C-alpha cells in the first residue's frame, strides 16, 4: 500500500461515517474518534471533501463550555448510481443518490428468452434513462443484480436456468461498451445483502431469500462473502433430510424442495420450521449476529415465517446455553442493493 492508497482509504473511512450519520451530520471531532485519526487529519480530509462538493457544513452542536462543534454532512446530490434488478420476468431499475436514497425508478417486463442482445439493449436503455447522458456529470456507474450462477469479478454469466444461450455471456463488458460508465454485475441475493449491510444492519448476518427458489446472501464483518467463484450463498440445496424427497437439482432432501413443498401444501408452519433448521445450521457454522428473511413467499406470510424460524433458533440456542440470534424481515429491494455495488467502493466497502 502506498501513500495514495492510504489517502483514499482514510477518505473512504470519513465518507462512510458521513453517510452513516445521515442528514443529522457528524462533527470533525467525532470523525476523529471513530477513525482513530487526529482531529487535524480529519480537518484536512474534510476540507478536501468540501472542496470537491461531497461534504458541507450543516449547523453546529450545542456548546459544552467552549466553541461549539461544527457539524458536517454528506451532500447527497454530489453523485449518484443506477441499480438494476434483472429478474426472470421483470426489470426494475433505480437511480440513487450518494446516501442510497432512491430518486427515480423504472420498471419494465422482460423475457430472458428473447436472446442476450435484445435483453442487453433493454437494460442499457433503462439504465441510460436513469443515468443521464454519457460519462460526464456525477454518474458513478451501474450495478446489475440477477439470479443464477455467475462470476462477479469478470461480470460473466455461467448459466441462466432454462436459457442455454446465456452461458458464458460477458454481461459486464457488453454493458460497459454500450453505456460508457463502469458496470458491476452480481447475484441478486448478494446485492440484496449488500444493500442491507449498507443500510445499517449488523456486522455479520445472513439474508435468506425465499421466492421461486431459496438462496442466501452472506455478510461477514460488513462485507459480502461471495467465495472464489461467486458461488457462496447456495443455501437452498443444503441437504437437511438424508434420502428425503427428490429435488429438482437431482439431490434428495434439500431445504428448498422441502420448504417449497410445504408452502404448496399450505403448511406454512412446516415450511418455516424447515427454513429454520437450515438457518440454524448456517448460524451455527458462521456465528452471524442476525438472520433476515425476504422474498415474495416470505412477504406473503412474514409473521408466520419469522415466528417459525425464530422458534427453531431459540430452541437451539437454549440447548447450547447461548442467546438466540434475532430473526427479522428484510427491508430493502434488490435494485437498491445493486446500486450499492457501485457506491460501496466509494465508502470503502470492497470485496471481502
Partner DNA sequence: TCCACTTTCGCAACGCTGTTGCCAAAGTGC
Partner DNA sequence: GCACTTTGGCAACAGCGTTGCGAAAGTGGA
263: exposed, middle or buried (Cβ count in 10 Å: 0-12, 13-18, 19+): buried
What lies within 8 Å, CB to CB, of 300 at 6+ separation is none
DSSP β-ladder status, 290-294 and 205-210:
parallel
Q: Which phi and psi (to 5°) does residue 297 adopt? A: -65, -40
Instruction: Between 7 and 331, name the residue whose CB sits nearer to DNA.
Output: 7
Report if residue 218 touches a copy of itself, rule: CB under 8 A.
yes
Residue 258 binding partner per list DNA, a copy of itself, none, with a CB distance cut-off of 5 to 8 Å that depends on partner kind: a copy of itself
Give the count of residues interacting with DNA (CB under 7 A). 28
Element (H, E) at 255: helix 255-264
Give residues 42-61 in contact with DNA (rule: CB under 7 A).
Answer: 43-47, 60
Give residues 131-170 in contact with a copy of itself (rule: CB under 8 A).
Answer: 149, 159
Q: According to CB under 7 A, which one of 27, 223, 297, 340 is a site residue for DNA?
A: 27
Q: Which phi and psi (to 5°) does residue 56 adopt? A: -150, 160
Give residues 58-77 in contact with DNA (rule: CB under 7 A).
Answer: 60, 63-70
Do residues 270 and 311 touch, judged by C-beta distance below 8 A? no
Query: Of 197, 182, 81, 190, which Cα lies nearest the Cα of 145?
Result: 190
Report if residue 229 touches a copy of itself, rule: CB under 8 A.
yes
Report if residue 99 touches a copy of itself, rule: CB under 8 A.
no
* Rounded least distance, CB 13 to DNA, Å: 9
Query: How distant, in Å, are the alpha carbons of 66, 126, 259, 269 from that of 346?
Result: 35, 24, 39, 43
Do residues 283 and 292 touch, judged by C-beta distance below 8 A? no
Using the contact rule CB under 8 A, the part of the chain among 20-28, 56-64, 83-91, 313-321 near a copy of itself is 313-321
- Alpha-carbon distance 270 to 338, whole Å? 32
* Rounded least distance, CB 73 to DNA, Å: 13
Residue 39 binding partner per list DNA, a copy of itself, none, with a CB distance cut-off of 5 to 8 Å that depends on partner kind: DNA
Q: According to CB under 8 A, which one of 37, 199, 299, 324 is a site residue for a copy of itself?
A: 37
Q: Dihedral sign, CA of 64, 66, 71, 72?
A: negative
Report if residue 232 touches a copy of itself, rule: CB under 8 A.
yes
Chain positions contacting a copy of itself, by CB under 8 A: 1-3, 6, 9-10, 36-37, 41, 149, 159, 203-204, 216, 218, 220-221, 225-235, 237-242, 244, 249-251, 253, 258, 274, 277, 280-282, 284-289, 315-316, 319-322, 352
Chain positions contacting DNA, by CB under 7 A: 2-4, 6-7, 10, 27-29, 37-41, 43-47, 60, 63-70
Amino acid at each position: 500500500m502506498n501513500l495514495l492508497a492510504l489517502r483514499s482509504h482514510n477518505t473512504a473511512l470519513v465518507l462512510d461515517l458521513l453517510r452513516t450519520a445521515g442528514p443529522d451530520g457528524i462533527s470533525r471531532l467525532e470523525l476523529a474518534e471513530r477513525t482513530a485519526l487526529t482531529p487535524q487529519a480529519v480537518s484536512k480530509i474534510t476540507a478536501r471533501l468540501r472542496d470537491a462538493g461531497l461534504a458541507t457544513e450543516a449547523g453546529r452542536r450545542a456548546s459544552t463550555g467552549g466553541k461549539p462543534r461544527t457539524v458536517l454532512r454528506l451532500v447527497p446530490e454530489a453523485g449518484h448510481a443506477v441499480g438494476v434488478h434483472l429478474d426472470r420476468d421483470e426489470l426494475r431499475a433505480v437511480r440513487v443518490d450518494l446516501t442510497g436514497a432512491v430518486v427515480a425508478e423504472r420498471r419494465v417486463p422482460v423475457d430472458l428468452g428473447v436472446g442476450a442482445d435484445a435483453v442487453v439493449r433493454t437494460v442499457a436503455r433503462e439504465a441510460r434513462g436513469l443515468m443521464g447522458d454519457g460519462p460526464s456529470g456525477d454518474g458513478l456507474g451501474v450495478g446489475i443484480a440477477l439470479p443464477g450462477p455467475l462470476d462477479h469479478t469478470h461480470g460473466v454469466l455461467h448459466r441462466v436456468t432454462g436459457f442455454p444461450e446465456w452461458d458464458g455471456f460477458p454481461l459486464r463488458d457488453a454493458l460497459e461498451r454500450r453505456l460508457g460508465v463502469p458496470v458491476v454485475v452480481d447475484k441478486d441475493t448478494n446485492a440484496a445483502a449488500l444493500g442491507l449491510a449498507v443500510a445499517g444492519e449488523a456486522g455479520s448476518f445472513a439474508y435468506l431469500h425465499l421466492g421461486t427458489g431459496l438462496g442466501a446472501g452472506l455478510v461477514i464483518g460488513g462485507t459480502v462473502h461471495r467465495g472464489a467463484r461467486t458461488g457462496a450463498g447456495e443455501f437452498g440445496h443444503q441437504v437437511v433430510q438424508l434420502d428425503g424427497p427428490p429435488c429438482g437439482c437431482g439431490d434428495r432432501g434439500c431445504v428448498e424442495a422441502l420448504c417449497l413443498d410445504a408452502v404448496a401444501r399450505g403448511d406454512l408452519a412446516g415450511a418455516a420450521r424447515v427454513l429454520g433448521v437450515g438457518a440454524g445450521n448456517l448460524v451455527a457454522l458462521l456465528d452471524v449476529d442476525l438472520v433476515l428473511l425476504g422474498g415474495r413467499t416470505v412477504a406473503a406470510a412474514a409473521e408466520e415465517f419469522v415466528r417459525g424460524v425464530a422458534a427453531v433458533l431459540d430452541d437451539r440456542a437454549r440447548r447450547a446455553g447461548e442467546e438466540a440470534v434475532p430473526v427479522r424481515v428484510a427491508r430493502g429491494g434488490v435494485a437498491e442493493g445493486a446500486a450499492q455495488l457501485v457506491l460501496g467502493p466509494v465508502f470503502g466497502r470492497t470485496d471481502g
